Structure 1
Amino acid sequence: MDLISQTEKCLGSPEPWYKGTVDVSTYICQDNTRNAGESPVLLEPNRMPAIIPIAQLSTLISTRVVEGVIIRKSDVCTFGGGSGKFFNFDIADLHSEIRCKAFNEILDMFFGLIKVGQAYHFENFVLIRSNKLYNHLSHEFEINLTKNTILYEISDHIFPTIPVPFNMVNISDIAISMVGKCVDVFATVTYINNVDLIFVAKRNTHCYTRNVSVADDTGTIDIILWNDFATKFSTVVNTKVRFKNLLVQLFKGKLQLTTIMTTVINSEDEAQQV
């Protein structure tokens, strides 16, 4: 599965979570003891706390330990005029998925360690209610990593292949009332425009963009691909593609879809495996 993320398309102004009593970072280290350090080390644990299924994660549960596979990861995004930064990723077990976030210095600790397709064990994180303006997963909560978060890689064999879950909608069902929300579509590519490099004044930067038209049995719609999605889109016309997390927009009176950080694009061959 070819998962692509992008940096430029960031929605809203997310605020980092701060915990005033955090004084030291605690991680599992090479000798299986817990010591203070500047960055986490991913190694096998010497204890096995109770694992909570992702679907059961709640602020009502004091024990918050999960295991799962990373199915999506964004690039680094900035906010507050560049004064802050964050990235997010989604972790899934056999029955559910949840969004995870890391801000500023926490991002520096964990960004390079999180790999799509790798299974991890997570402990000592903060659970907050998800903001559905920016988080379109079905889970009621999301995870914020902290300086005290412990994570380590676990065997991929613990989990069978976990497909990216899709909740498809018909193109004809995409309505103005859905503007600002995300949808998943399964459609045939009917037209692919060339890649353009445009200047986006709002972000004061140049971005790559590409228009793609798709159709299903109910209608047609245009999809705007940004940056890596635009430059790495290798699908040809008449190929069936699954798109996950496309943002619904209204542009000049016409509905269209656009990629965001956590968009996933599966070509026909990959889609047949889902």
Structure 2
Amino acid sequence: MAILTTDAIKLIVEGAIDLSPCIQVFFISTFGSNPEQTTRFRLDIFDGTDKRKATLPKKYNDYIIFEEIKIGSIIKLSEYSYPKSSKTWWIMIIRLEIVSTIHEMIGEPVSLDVDQYCQMDQATQLTPNFDIGVENLQNSGTLSQTKVLFGVKRPQSSSGVLSIITPIKNLNPFQTRWTIKVRVTIKKEIHQYNKQTRNGRVFSFDIIDREGTLTRVSGFNNMADTNYGNIDIGAMYKISGGVVKIANKIYNKLNSGIEITLVPESIVTPCEDDPSIPKNYFSFMPINEITEKSNNSIIDVIGVVICVEPSSTIRRRDGIEVIRRTIKLLDMS
């Protein structure tokens, strides 16, 4: 069992600098005055008797976001400082080690009232909403006015899927840990592919998130066999992990600019329907503007069908015969 360092807070306040104490995380919140800056996290740390606020370097943000540090975690302060100022006396954590991610609370700390806590810091309480990615706090401009509380009535995930949702538009090839919440709009059949260097099986499905961003998810070979039967059009899923890469616009003209490949570490979990996530996304354009688009563009039009001509067979330049049917529309855009 991890043991807290007795009187660690008192010794740090009195000037001890080489203590390397083990303390317990009692509370986690965000803070900051500039919404354009990276989110910063603040901890309330507890030594079994005393409790004090501490700042966490930005390099440890992922430890909070991906729940490696949470309420009850035991951490060792390998390096810290205690600069006194006229406004706040906070312990500044410089370097830490995780002793235990999950641990019952040690001792009997005084119960912390969330409303009172936020009032003391002159901030307006924000009810926790863990479907909002940390990135959105910066973009929305609310970070300077609110505190987002971590660990308070936070739903635990037994599936390994992270509870913080990242918008698809915020994904990039340099991320390795993320979770998106999406609806499936299109599902394609498994098919064989043959290339000069390899061959195998692949299937893909298109997804949309709350912001109307569309992207494509692909699974190859074992990932195709494992996931194909579990994906249904119109259903909701949380997808955690995968390889994010820039979309090849020759084959993928969806509006996100990225695509995802499932890997053995990926987790695809069904979830309850969320009415805020649309069933699809359309960007309708007038029919008379179609001629301005480049060849092979994908467009959305809306209209009333006024004539359907009989189908006919035509031969393409490459010799392949295809069936063509002409439909006349009355523009409704």
TM-score (norm 2): 0.45
Correspondence for 1:260 = none
CA distance in 2, matches of 1:73, 1:123: 19
2:209 matches 1:93 = yes
Correspondence for 2:194 = 80
Residue 182 of structure 2 contacts residue 277 of structure 2 at CA under 8 Å; is this kept in 1?
no
2:178 corresponds to which of 60, 64, 71:
64
Structure 1 counterpart SS, 2:306: strand
Greater share of residues in strand: 1
Residue 102 of structure 1 contacts residue 144 of structure 1 at CA under 8 Å; is this kept in 2?
yes
CA 1:62 to 1:83, structure 2 compared with 1: closer, same or farther past 3 Å? Answer: closer
Correspondence for 2:250 = 133
Structure 1 counterpart SS, 2:251: coil
- Cα distance, 1:48 vs. partner? 5.1
Correspondence for 1:54 = 168
Residue 52 of structure 1 contacts residue 65 of structure 1 at CA under 8 Å; is this kept in 2?
yes
2:283 matches 1:167 = yes
Residue 161 of structure 2 contacts residue 179 of structure 2 at CA under 8 Å; is this kept in 1?
no
- Cα distance, 1:129 vs. partner? 0.4
CA 1:147 to 1:200, structure 2 compared with 1: closer, same or farther past 3 Å? Answer: farther
CA 1:214 to 1:180, structure 2 compared with 1: closer, same or farther past 3 Å? Answer: same
Residue 184 of structure 2 contacts residue 233 of structure 2 at CA under 8 Å; is this kept in 1?
yes
2:304 matches 1:191 = no
Structure 2 counterpart SS, 1:174: helix
2:110 matches 1:110 = no
Residue 170 of structure 1 contacts residue 216 of structure 1 at CA under 8 Å; is this kept in 2?
no
Gaps of 5+ in 2: 1-156
Query: What does the per-residue CA deviation read over 1:80-131, in whole Å, with 9 as the maximum and x for residues that have no partner?
Result: 3794432221111210222111223321111111101111111221101001
Structure 1 counterpart SS, 2:225: helix
2:215 matches 1:215 = no
Larger Rg: 2
Structure 2 counterpart SS, 1:183: coil
CA distance in 1, matches of 2:239, 2:253: 22
2:291 matches 1:178 = no
CA 1:98 to 1:124, structure 2 compared with 1: closer, same or farther past 3 Å? Answer: same
Task: Give the alignment's Cα RMSD to 1 decimal.
Answer: 3.3
Which one-letter code corresponds to 1:79 in the other structure? Y
Residue 193 of structure 1 contacts residue 210 of structure 1 at CA under 8 Å; is this kept in 2?
no
Query: What does the per-residue CA deviation read over 1:218-260, in whole Å, with 9 as the maximum and x for residues that have no partner?
Result: xxxxxxxxxxxxxxxxxxxxxx7x9xxxxxxxxxxxxxxxxxx
CA 1:189 to 1:100, structure 2 compared with 1: closer, same or farther past 3 Å? Answer: same
Percent identity between the two aligned chains: 23
- Cα distance, 1:62 vs. partner? 3.7
Residue 181 of structure 2 contacts residue 237 of structure 2 at CA under 8 Å; is this kept in 1?
yes
CA 1:196 to 1:145, structure 2 compared with 1: closer, same or farther past 3 Å? Answer: farther
Residue 193 of structure 2 contacts residue 200 of structure 2 at CA under 8 Å; is this kept in 1?
yes
Which one-letter code corresponds to 1:93 in the other structure? D
TM-score (norm 1): 0.53
CA 1:210 to 1:77, structure 2 compared with 1: closer, same or farther past 3 Å? Answer: farther
Correspondence for 1:145 = 262
CA 1:47 to 1:143, structure 2 compared with 1: closer, same or farther past 3 Å? Answer: closer
- Cα distance, 1:200 vs. partner? 9.2
